Amino acid sequence: MKQVGLAILLFASFCCAEESGSFQPASTNVWGAEYPRVDSADRAEFRVKAPDATKVRLNFWSGPKLDMVKQPDGFWAVTTPPLVPGFHYYTLIIDGAETSDPNSLAFFGGGKDASGIEIPEPGSTYYSAQDVPHGQVREIWYYSKVAGTWRHALVYLPPNYDTETKVRYPVLYLQHGAGEDETGWTKQGHANFILDNLIAAGSCKPMILVMAYGYARRAGQPAPDLTGKPFGSPEMRRAMQEMVAAFEDDLTQVLVPYIDANFRTIADRDHRAMAGLSMGGMQTFQVTFDHLDMFSYIGGFSGAAGALVFGNQKFDVKTAFNGAMADPAAFAKRVHLLWVGVGTAEPEGMRAGLVGLHDALEEANIKHVFYESPGTAHEWQTWRRDLKDFAPRLFQQDGK
């Protein structure tokens, strides 16, 4: 009977797909959900049951806010204009209350679980599951003497890690952005598939990938009260600096030693990299420049020096990070790769800051790579492309 029921469900799903023309269920739906659906023109069709509601709106965080139309059967529906390919967060506003779409998988963003929809990018298979050897993503818990609590991280192990037991691997520490967490790089970013596909193509070295929880507070330190404090305020800056400093100590004093003790790493600076998106890029620059004895590959994806995040301060290459780049030749020998990326459609202030960083590095003859993702904003499609360009440059002699 179970097999008959499954067959009926699959047949019904097929029939619904046929009736809807080119619309097909999104890959980000929960199992069996027919909506939202995406067509070949990058439009998305949404449908949600709320028979007692008086108003329902579809709320894309970085896109359209659309009124849904009530149908005779009690469902509300709307079809979007074409959307930019990639991953998009969204919620539903039902009579003023913001809620997730029960048809969507949950993705942690904006400090909460939210809905998301994937709009396929034509011809892009580098971040999807392909018929290639796959690595494994494992969960770890480690006790942090810095934070005085247990902390969580995800670890990607490359294909054949468990069978080729004498092989040791370089490590990339890859950080999420503000409002997201350590699950973002696999659930939203598909970093594991990106590395699987690059490794299978021979485009990058097999490596271990560590994705850590990016928020930290020192043991006994109370949570800051930021009620009514705007972004960029002195109180917000101070809280951010304290968090980054605590995270820096946790990563360098606890997590890195834990990874080296429990996985087959090549435990030296020439085989250790760090990168991050947005807030994670800011964290990366602080951690790596404070610990150039531990890291020699540095990547900022839509994020870099803290001065570029808070305010319009000009980046002074000679004095930044305690003068680490004051001598360009010495810096080039010490840091194998300095990489900065930004989307061409990023918010103007953020884009201007990162372009300004690139210009300052160019003017000072600091060897680096500057990458622009065409047509993408502060979003996962930018950061997927960043990782695709960044990872193949790692653990090569000169980062090229």
Per-residue pLDDT tens over the stretch 196-248: 999 999 999 999 999 999 999 999 888 777 777 776 678 777 887 888 899 99
400 versus 253: the higher-pLDDT residue is 253
pLDDT, tens digit (0-9, with 9 covering 90-100), for 20-39: 458 999 999 999 999 999 99
* pLDDT (0 to 100) of residue 64: 80
- 392 secondary structure, DSSP code: G
> Which of 357, 376, 374 lies closest to 366 in space, CA to CA?
357
> Strand ranges (DSSP E) for the chain?
24-25, 37-38, 44-49, 56-60, 65-67, 69-70, 75-79, 86-94, 97-99, 106-109, 112-119, 136-144, 149-157, 171-175, 208-212, 272-277, 297-301, 337-343, 369-373
**C-alpha distances in Å from residue 389, one per residue of 49, 198, 257, 341:** 42, 10, 28, 9
Mean pLDDT, range 65-73, rounded to an integer: 96
Of 204-213, 223-232, 286-295, 346-355, the poorest mean pLDDT is in: 223-232
* pLDDT (0 to 100) of residue 338: 97
Output the six-digit token pair for 93: 């506003």
pLDDT band, residue 19 (cuts 50/70/90): very low
Mean pLDDT, range 175-186, rounded to an integer: 96
Q: Across the chain, what does the average pLDDT equal?
A: 90
pLDDT band, residue 11 (cuts 50/70/90): very low
pLDDT at position 185 over 50: yes
Residues 6+ apart with CB under 8 A from 267: 260
d(CA 32, CA 148): 42
pLDDT band, residue 263 (cuts 50/70/90): very high
DSSP string, 240-273: HHHHHHHHHHHIIIIIHHHHHHHS-B--SGGGEE
Domain with CATH 2.60.40.10 in the chain: 21-119
- Which amino acid belongs to residue 385? R
Output the six-digit token pair for 35: 């909506």
pLDDT, tens digit (0-9, with 9 covering 90-100), for 55-64: 999 999 877 8
Percentage above 90 pLDDT, the chain: 79
C-alpha 341: how far from chain center: 13
Scored b (16 or more CB within 10 A) or e, 152-183 reads: ebbbbbbbebeeeeeeebbbbbbbbbbebbbb
* pLDDT (0 to 100) of residue 145: 97
d(CA 355, CA 372): 10
* pLDDT (0 to 100) of residue 1: 41
pLDDT at position 359 over 80: yes
pLDDT at position 100 over 80: yes
* pLDDT (0 to 100) of residue 243: 86
pLDDT, tens digit (0-9, with 9 covering 90-100), for 302-319: 988 754 444 456 678 888
- Is the Cβ–Cβ distance between 171 and 365 less than 8 Å? no
Tallying the residues shown for the chain, one arrives at 400
d(CA 303, CA 199): 26
d(CA 22, CA 345): 29
Q: Which residues are paired to 76 by β-bridges?
A: 48, 70
* pLDDT (0 to 100) of residue 239: 80
d(CA 251, CA 211): 11
Of 253-262, 304-313, 377-386, the poorest mean pLDDT is in: 304-313
Domain with CATH 3.40.50.1820 in the chain: 136-393
User: Would the CA dihedral through 91, 93, 99, 101 be positive or negative?
Assistant: negative
* pLDDT (0 to 100) of residue 305: 72
Output the six-digit token pair for 164: 């080729």
pLDDT at position 394 over 70: yes
pLDDT, tens digit (0-9, with 9 covering 90-100), for 367-380: 999 999 999 999 99
C-alpha 77: how far from chain center: 30
* pLDDT (0 to 100) of residue 236: 76
d(CA 340, CA 317): 15
CB count within 10 Å of CB 6 equals: 10
Residue 97 sits at φ, ψ, to 5 deg, of: -100, 130
Q: Which CATH architecture has domain 21-119?
A: Sandwich (2.60)
CATH number, domain 136-393: 3.40.50.1820
pLDDT at position 399 over 80: no
User: Would the CA dihedral through 119, 280, 238, 221 be positive or negative?
Assistant: positive
Residue 122 sits at φ, ψ, to 5 deg, of: -55, 130
